């Protein structure tokens, strides 16, 4: 495959990813800490009082030894230096300044950030035990208890429904029609929760959990969580009523069968609360990540139609119109490379999830205390210049050798690595392949009329994950 066709230099994207965007873009893109607080005037007075009260508590913020980093302010830490809409850009700049192991203070919370492939791999794989604990995220802890016919459409709902149905099949042994109001209500409620969880005010809440009810989105999350839980328990009741222990329809059935066996066992984990939480977590972890990656993939295909043509040509040549199977992956190296490059390029989970050290460790010459919050900075691994030829471009050739065969890359870590590697990696990879091939087999994706390919925006918004900015695409049937 000619290199010219697969290397797409997106200079605007490159500047953004390097944190050197124009003044105009950074003004547009930045939402400062103070702006977020002032958007909720009722909380300002309370916040000032609380800040004064806790000042003495954090006054020795600077005295803790550990990896270097930008100088923090008392209580606020480094928040004022942080681009709240694109925090990964600030962290990339810090990593250039302070090296691959550095400290930032997210308000009063000390975070050690691990940046770049070599460092993240050394920590998560070579020291898997020490860096393998999950750190608690306050908002998670507290809430634990069409047919478009070529017309422009927002890909969000369609993708969420398709991917959620996979999780529904695994959990309930059942999938839903896209117009089933029970299903669309669940999807809408989960999506709203995802938006709230990724909102700047909830990020601030996670650093200052004592703000509690002053953060309005937190209260809505609690309400949504309760709704999600009662919806899940409603499904569980239906499944319990028709349970056949000899024919499990899905995870919930298997759980209920085990619950029956453990009746009377003290402290058995097989109780209703655990079941509801597990189902909710699998929905959260398994829907939005995969659906958003697929939305990015289609957006990239609309942006770079010559790459889309190459994918379709390969699919048509090798599997034609028949239904794709997982085993076809090995025969579709270019398609596989495009999917991998999509995941690398978009870095859907820029910071992974927080980890915590299980004991004191001296890592790359820096002392890190037991119990320190660790951020494996996956975005920096997926953009590490020492590992990727064109880190700032959408360049499927990253995953192809000179003969056009698929080439594995160790620095491909969108699912993280080590003890806490994504539980759903195998499922997600399967879903991405089957959905992507099926969609490209049947439709040509383009920008909506009046929007040029150049105008399709690849900037992305970071909440809980890195989402594409709102956009519409056209899906034109290929036959």
- Binding residue positions for heme: 422
Closest-approach residue to ligand HEM (CB): 424
The answer to the question of residue 422 lying near ligand HEM (CB under 6 A) is yes
The answer to the question of residue 218 lying near ligand HEM (CB under 6 A) is no
Question: Residue 230 and residue 279: Cα distance in Å, rounded?
Answer: 12
CA R_g for the chain: 23
Which residues, numbered 123-182, are part of the site for ligand HEM (CB under 6 A)? 134
The answer to the question of residue 416 lying near ligand HEM (CB under 6 A) is yes
The answer to the question of residue 293 lying near ligand HEM (CB under 6 A) is yes
State the minimum distance, in angstroms, from the CB of residue 104 to ligand HEM: 18
The answer to the question of residue 1 lying near ligand HEM (CB under 6 A) is no
Candidates 4-12, 75-83, 94-102, 346-354: pick the segment binding ligand HEM (CB under 6 A): 346-354
The answer to the question of residue 424 lying near ligand HEM (CB under 6 A) is yes
Among 67, 77, 107, 352, binds ligand HEM (CB under 6 A): 352
Residues at the binding site are 422
Residue 206 CB-density burial (10 A; 0-12 exposed, 13-18 middle, 19+ buried): buried
Candidates 25-33, 345-353, 379-387, 391-399: pick the segment binding ligand HEM (CB under 6 A): 345-353
Our CB check for ligand HEM shows the closer of 233 and 285 to be: 285
Among 130, 368, 428, 440, binds ligand HEM (CB under 6 A): 428
The answer to the question of residue 301 lying near ligand HEM (CB under 6 A) is no
Candidates 11-19, 232-240, 359-367, 423-431: pick the segment binding ligand HEM (CB under 6 A): 423-431
Candidates 106-114, 228-236, 245-253, 415-423: pick the segment binding ligand HEM (CB under 6 A): 415-423
The answer to the question of residue 478 lying near ligand HEM (CB under 6 A) is no
Question: Which pairs from 143-149 meet CB under 8 Å and 24+ separation?
Answer: 143/221, 143/222, 143/225, 144/277, 145/273, 146/178, 148/474, 148/475
Which residues, numbered 232-291, are part of the site for ligand HEM (CB under 6 A)? 282, 285-286, 289-290
Handedness of CA 6, 11, 12, 18 (dihedral sign): positive
Candidates 23-31, 84-92, 181-189, 420-428: pick the segment binding ligand HEM (CB under 6 A): 420-428
Among 196, 349, 437, 475, binds ligand HEM (CB under 6 A): 349
Which is nearest to 220 in space by CA: 231, 236, 205? 205
The answer to the question of residue 420 lying near ligand HEM (CB under 6 A) is yes
Our CB check for ligand HEM shows the closer of 428 and 447 to be: 428
The answer to the question of residue 423 lying near ligand HEM (CB under 6 A) is yes
φ and ψ at residue 40, rounded to 5 degrees: -125, 80
State the minimum distance, in angstroms, from the CB of residue 170 to ligand HEM: 7
Handedness of CA 296, 297, 300, 305 (dihedral sign): negative
The answer to the question of residue 107 lying near ligand HEM (CB under 6 A) is no
State the minimum distance, in angstroms, from the CB of residue 278 to ligand HEM: 9
- Residues lying near ligand HEM in the complex (CB under 6 A): 134, 282, 285-286, 289-290, 293, 348-349, 352-353, 355, 376, 378, 414-416, 420-424, 427-428
């Amino acid at each position: 495959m000619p290199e010219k066709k697969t290397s797409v230099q997106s200079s605007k994207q490159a500047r953004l990813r390097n944190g050197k965007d124009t003044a105009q873009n950074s003004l547009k893109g930045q939402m400062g800490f103070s702006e977020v607080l002032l958007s909720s005037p009722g909380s300002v007075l309370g916040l000032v009082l609380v800040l004064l009260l806790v000042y003495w508590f954090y006054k020795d913020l600077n005295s803790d030894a550990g990896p270097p980093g930008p100088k923090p302010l008392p209580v606020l830490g480094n928040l004022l230096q942080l681009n709240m809409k694109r925090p990964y850009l600030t962290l990339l700049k810090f990593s250039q300044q302070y090296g691959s192991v550095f400290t930032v203070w997210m308000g009063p919370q000390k975070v050690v950030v691990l940046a770049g492939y070599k460092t993240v791999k050394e920590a998560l794989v070579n020291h898997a035990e020490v860096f393998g604990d999950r750190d608690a995220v306050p908002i998670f802890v507290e809430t634990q208890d069409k047919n478009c016919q070529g017309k422009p459409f927002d890909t969000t709902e369609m993708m969420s429904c398709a991917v959620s149905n996979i999780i529904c099949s695994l959990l309930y042994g059942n999938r839903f029609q896209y117009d089933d109001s029970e299903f669309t209500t669940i999807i809408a409620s989960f999506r709203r929760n995802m938006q709230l969880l990724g909102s700047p005010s909830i990020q601030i809440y996670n650093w200052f959990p004592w703000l509690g009810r002053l953060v309005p989105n937190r209260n809505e999350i609690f309400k949504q969580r309760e709704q999600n839980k009662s919806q899940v328990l409603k499904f569980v009741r239906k499944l319990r009523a028709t349970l056949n222990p000899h024919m499990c329809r899905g995870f919930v059935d298997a759980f209920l069968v085990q619950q029956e066996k453990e009746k009377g066992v003290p402290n058995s984990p097989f109780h209703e609360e655990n079941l509801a939480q597990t189902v909710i977590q699998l929905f959260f972890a398994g829907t939005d990540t995969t659906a958003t990656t697929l939305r990015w993939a289609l957006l990239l295909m609309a942006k770079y139609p010559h790459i889309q043509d190459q994918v379709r040509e390969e699919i048509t040549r090798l599997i034609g119109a028949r239904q794709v199977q997982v085993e076809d992956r090995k025969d579709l190296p270019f398609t596989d490379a495009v999917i991998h490059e999509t995941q690398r390029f978009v870095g859907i989970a820029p910071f992974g999830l927080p980890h915590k050290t299980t004991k004191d460790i001296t890592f790359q010459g820096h002392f890190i205390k037991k119990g320190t919050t660790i951020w494996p900075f996956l975005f920096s691994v997926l953009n590490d210049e020492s590992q990727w030829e064109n880190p700032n471009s959408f360049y499927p050739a990253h995953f192809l050798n000179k003969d056009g065969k698929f080439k594995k890359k160790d620095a491909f870590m969108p699912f993280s690595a080590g003890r806490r590697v994504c539980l759903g990696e195998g499922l997600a990879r399967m879903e991405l392949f089957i959905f992507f091939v099926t969609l490209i087999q049947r439709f040509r994706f383009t920008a909506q009329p009046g929007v040029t390919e150049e105008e399709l925006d690849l900037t992305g918004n970071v909440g809980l994950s890195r989402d594409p900015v709102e956009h519409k695409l056209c899906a034109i049937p290929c036959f």
